[in-house]
Amino acid sequence: MVTVPARRKRATIHDVAVEAGVSRGTVSRVVNDEPYVSAQARTAIEAAIEKVGYVPNNAARNLVMQRSQAVGFVVHEPHSLFLDDPNIGGILLGANTVLSRADYQMVSLVIDSQRDTDRVARYLSGGFVDGVIIVSARHEDPMIRVVEKLALPAAFVGHPPDLRRLPFVGIDNRRSARLITERLMQTGRERIGMIAAALDRDSGADRLAGFTDALGSRFDPNLVARVPLYTYSDGAEGMRALLAREPDLDGVFAASDAVAAGALEALRDAGRSVPGDIGVVGFDDSSWALRTQPHLSTVHQPAFGLGAAAAECVLGQLRGEDQPADGILLETPIVWRDSA
């Protein structure tokens, strides 16, 4: 039989005060980093805190302040994509870096069903977080209405069309897609198709719009393969569909690097060389871009910077600062490699 050791009694401000020979009020001022404490008393209190093992009760303090010192990080994606998508990981790390510096915890919440939506909405309504960062929101996403109803400090990564005036950070997906498609056209490609993914959110729809802008009168809707997600498997499926429709295809814009990597697999299986037979470009400049052979020409999406900017936006609102009405857009340079 295993004996469970008795739980050690938590040290209190009273214990520190007795050890240091000062009042509890003086200890409280030191713990809260307030002025009007002599250097001698501060030194004695810090030594006493170390000796008795006192840890401030942040839960009680937050209850008084009506703050949780936590910010939610909500991702509206399938659970598998949350783990596999390097962009989500980059956004998460950027946000966590800024929040940690400000002494905030980050709480990750993944939405993959209506049940998840209801659960997360209840959680956000319960006062467990002071603000929220929302990634991959869809058109008419319920989280938009939840944030509006709660008047919760928030930053969306991306800009759904019905976001209205809620704060957001993002990139100009349409312009970036147009520029990389034009660069692909400049290599002499004549029949260019697109594997368009995630058309239920602003990033996917805007990338298709940019592709359409670039081709102008040359745009052929039959050369657009629509797939649900920014995934490797959807990229391979979309590429096979394009080859079946247009065997003479000589260029492809894939809506993400993961999609482009799947397209390259399908092209290898079909005996097509890249970039000899078909030039391929992606979007994101994620780790996928350097895992492929050849390496991908792509658009650099600053995932870490987006997460950091979103966290700064939420913290700014918590400090009572106004945020830009037209959002925050980061730069997206083209990175040209061997795939085109």
For residue 1, pLDDT over 80 is answered with no
Residue positions counted in the chain? 340
Query: Taking the mean position of all CA atoms in its chain, how far away is CA 274?
Result: 31
Give the residues across from 225 on adjacent strands.
Answer: 195
Give the per-residue pLDDT at 28.
87
Tokens of 190: 């004549």
Q: Using pLDDT thresholds of 50, 70 and 90, give the confidence band for residue 139.
A: confident
- pLDDT above 90 covers a percentage of the chain that reads 74
pLDDT digits (tens, 9 = 90+) for 172-188: 999 999 999 999 999 99
Q: Was domain 70-171+304-330 assigned CATH 3.40.50.2300? A: yes
For residue 2, pLDDT over 60 is answered with no
Give the per-residue pLDDT at 245.
95
Give the per-residue pLDDT at 66.
53
Give the dihedral sign, CA 26/31/34/35: positive
Amino acid, res. 119: R
Mean of the per-residue pLDDT values of the chain: 91
Q: Was domain 173-300 assigned CATH 3.20.20.450? A: no
For residue 8, pLDDT over 90 is answered with no
Q: Which residue has the tokens 């871009």?
A: 289
Alpha-carbon distance 144 to 298, whole Å?
Answer: 31
- pTM for the whole structure: 0.80
CATH 3.40.50.2300 in the chain: give the residue spans: 70-171+304-330, 173-300
For residue 164, pLDDT over 90 is answered with no
Q: Which of 40, 52, 43, 41 is nearest to 16 (CA)?
A: 52
Regarding predicted confidence, which is higher, 57 or 64? Answer: 57
Q: Using pLDDT thresholds of 50, 70 and 90, give the confidence band for residue 219.
A: very high
Q: Average pLDDT, stretch 134-140? A: 88
pLDDT digits (tens, 9 = 90+) for 23-33: 998 998 888 88
For residue 271, pLDDT over 80 is answered with yes
Q: Please compute Rg for the chain using Cα positions.
A: 26
Alpha-carbon distance 53 to 240, whole Å?
Answer: 64
- pLDDT above 70 covers a percentage of the chain that reads 94
pLDDT digits (tens, 9 = 90+) for 194-210: 999 999 999 999 999 99
Residue 324 CB neighbours (<10 A): 11
Give the per-residue pLDDT at 4.
42
What CATH number labels 13-56? 1.10.260.40
Which ranges of the chain would DSSP assign to H, the alpha helix? 13-20, 24-31, 39-52, 58-65, 79-84, 86-101, 114-125, 142-150, 173-185, 202-215, 232-245, 257-269, 288-291, 303-318
pLDDT digits (tens, 9 = 90+) for 87-103: 999 999 999 999 999 99
Give the per-residue pLDDT at 7.
47
From residue 202, alpha-carbon distances to 1, 50, 83, 210, 254 in Å are: 59, 52, 21, 12, 16
Alpha-carbon distance 193 to 181, whole Å?
Answer: 10
Q: Which of 157, 214, 85, 90 is nearest to 330 (CA)?
A: 157
CB 87 within 8 A of CB 149: no
CATH 1.10.260.40 in the chain: give the residue spans: 13-56
Amino acid, res. 131: G
Tokens of 250: 């000589």
From residue 163, alpha-carbon distances to 2, 147, 290 in Å are: 56, 10, 34
